[in-house]
Structure 1
Amino acid sequence: MDTGSTIIGAIILLACIAPFFLIYVSRKRKESLKLQIIKGFAQQNNCEIDDFEFDGDYTIAIDKNQNYIFFIKETKNGVINQFVDLSEIHFCRSVVSTRKVQNGNKYYDVINRAELCFVPKDKFRSEVRFNLFTDDEDMQIDNELQVAEKWSQIINNQIEVKAHSARGFIPPSC
């Protein structure tokens, strides 16, 4: 009786753990594939990935040595591949667009777009935008706002470091 209970308990435990394990393995496999894809995209531009982040349907990565940023996003209409030479960029900012929505007699701000916006040094060139979230494409916003803020800081730090090193000054690391 004791052995039978142990076997049944082990089977139930395995049945409870198996879905989480399969989800974990599936997520790691997708992340590995996304990393291979963005590394391949970087290699096409003679770059290597130093830092990267996956989030849902997009991947963002940076080559700090060559001073490039890469972005890949899966959309309904296909895959978007973008890259920016940071040596041509004045600064990067996160941009969040909202719209007003009425529910009864109350109005709410709803986020309909979150992007990384690259402002070029050359004022005659247009801005480049990495679209992290659009309410047309994505079901709901997750942590795209935090990712946009985080990566705009990473990118601006990279731009500043490269500008200082071009002038012969390398700031001390923290």
Structure 2
Amino acid sequence: MDITSAIIGIISLALFVVPVILIQRNQKQQKRKHLQHFLYVAQQQQLKITQYDLWSHNFAIGIDTEQNILFYLKKQAEGEGMLLVHLSEVSACRLNNMNREVGGNRVIDLIELRFTFQGLGLREQAVVFYNREESMSLSEELLLAEKWRAIVSTKLQKPHPQRNNTAYKGGSAAFV
């Protein structure tokens, strides 16, 4: 093999590998910024997040185990939305997976966790993991929703001190 072929091979390999490395580094930086922002917003709500997950560059969920509060953050075109769920007031948490059959294939339209509260008059709250109308790509959302349903279920079985919810409009959960 001559030197010219070796140089062409090395340059061709570099043209393929360098963009892949740059894309991966950019994705890591975006994820780090997303995490920092999520933790900053949680801190503004006086929360200390001990466990969390991020997905789709727009969603984040975490839990403050000390205060027993679930925190959800969603970036939208019109701004950010957040949901605080005081788990001490939740009576049930269930996974809602809305799907349909199309041509013999199952199409998922919505994946969410639905929270039912102990108090009368408090309406259910939902944490959306995937909505087909907002995103066409579905990857890890169903697994994450199952994971967080299990996390919340274990927190519901343990008694926690009642918390005064007067700081949040809407009672046990407030979507701002």
Q: Distance in 1 between matches of 2:47 and 2:84?
A: 11
The TM-score, its normalising length taken from structure 1, stands at: 0.79
CA contact (8 A) 1:76 1:137 kept: no
Equivalent residue for 1:137, pick from 134, 138, 159: 134
| Map 1:10-159 → 2, pairs under 5 A | 10-56=10-56, 57-99=58-100, 101=102, 103=103, 109-159=106-156
Count residues with an aligned counterpart.
160
Q: Which has the higher helix share?
A: 1
Q: Bigger shift: 147-156 or 62-71? A: 62-71
Gaps of 5+ in 2: 162-176
Runs of 4+ in 1 over 3 A off after TM superposition: 1-10, 75-78
Match of 1:170 in 2: none
The TM-score, its normalising length taken from structure 2, stands at: 0.78
What is the CA distance between 1:98 and its match in structure 2? 2.4
The percent of aligned pairs where both chains have the same amino acid is 31
**Higher RCO (C-alpha under 8 Å, 6+ residues apart):** 2
Gaps of 5+ in 1: 167-174
Tell me the alpha carbon deviations over residues 3-40 of structure 1, each in whole angstroms, 9 at most, x when there is no partner.
55554443322222112211211111111111111111
What is the CA distance between 1:42 and its match in structure 2? 1.0
Q: Distance in 1 between matches of 2:23 and 2:62?
A: 24
Match of 1:171 in 2: none
